[in-house]
Amino acid sequence: MQAASTGIGTGTNANASTNKCKLVILISGGGSNLQSFIDNSINGTLNAEIAAVISNKADAYGLQRASNAGIATDVIDHTEFDSREAFDETLKQHIESYAPDLVILAGFMRILSSDFVQHFHGRLLNIHPSLLPKYPGLNTHQRALDAGDSETGATVHFVTEELDGGPAIIQASVSISTDDDASSLAEKVLQHEHVIYPEAARWFAEGRLKLDGNHAIFDNEKLPVTGIQFNQLENQK
């Protein structure tokens, strides 16, 4: 596929012109990725409406970010449920009450049940701080350092039942310097997350991105295992 075809403004379907893609965003913490979605929806780069922000933690600062932007918020405390399935069922019902086109996991620190993931199949995105398929799970930056890697990064992917194993959509990489630690790498990678995550949602909103079985399809072409490489895309602009 030609990465250059991903330039801004090339979408052609109705969502790209009149109808806004309706998003529900799930968070557990500060919500810096949420803020990137808010900013991109306000400036028109992302043709989307954030219908609601839902958190499993009442003290998540991202809720304040949402309130500041006039976005509806909900708190569903997972500790008040007897099981993961009971929590997920209530969460699913709250999400569906907003009739979203796309659900965004933005630092939502919960492993979701199979039923939940299957229900939102094809309209559930996540961002993971590694160059998947490397380092699914936690402590990704330290694991990259321990392995002596020369680079790390972030991956936006569709969510499937395999933890951090859904088809990749777009990746951004950063070089690892000799003086980097896990904290400095996290800061570097987060800056790229704020760019590539709304970009992936924009493609979905434009009707250019979909999940077909277990493959991410972009502009009617199957994406490679590692998705579109954002750094290469930038070099071609």
Mean pLDDT of the 199-224 span: 97
HSE of 129, CA atoms in CB hemisphere, 13 A? 21
Out of 128, 157, 192, 194, pick the active-site residue: 128
57 membership: H or E segment, kind and range: none
Mean pLDDT of the 81-100 span: 98
Q: How far apart are CA 27 and CA 21, in angstroms?
A: 19
**Taking the CB of residue 130, how many other CB atoms lie within 10 A of it?**
22
Tell me, what's the pLDDT at 18? 56
Tell me, what's the pLDDT at 232? 60
Q: Kindly report, residue by residue over 114-124, the tens digit of the pLDDT.
A: 999 999 999 99
Mention every residue, 6+ apart, whose C-beta is less than 8 A from residue 108. 26, 27, 28, 56
Tell me, what's the pLDDT at 2? 32
Model-wide pTM > 0.85 = yes
Give the closest residue to 228 by CA, choosing from 207, 203, 206.
203
* Share of residues in the chain with pLDDT > 90 (%): 89
Query: Is 128 labeled as catalytic in the residue annotation?
Result: yes
Give the closest residue to 104 by CA, choosing from 17, 181, 193, 174.
193
Helix intervals (H) in the chain: 32-43, 61-68, 84-96, 114-119, 140-146, 182-205, 230-235
Tell me, what's the pLDDT at 231? 77
Task: Calculate the alpha carbon distances from 208 to 27, 46, 125, 201 in Å.
Answer: 26, 13, 15, 10
Q: Looking at the predicted structure, is the pLDDT value of residue 24 above 80?
A: yes
Categorize the per-residue pLDDT at 234 as very low, low, confident or very high, splitting at 50, 70 and 90.
low
Q: Looking at the predicted structure, is the pLDDT value of residue 7 above 90?
A: no
Could you give all domains of the chain from N- to C-terminal order, each with its CATH number? 17-235 (3.40.50.170)
Mention every residue, 6+ apart, whose C-beta is less than 8 A from residue 83. none
Higher pLDDT, 212 or 19: 212
Q: Kindly report, residue by residue over 34-74, the tens digit of the pLDDT.
A: 999 999 999 999 999 999 999 999 999 999 999 999 999 99
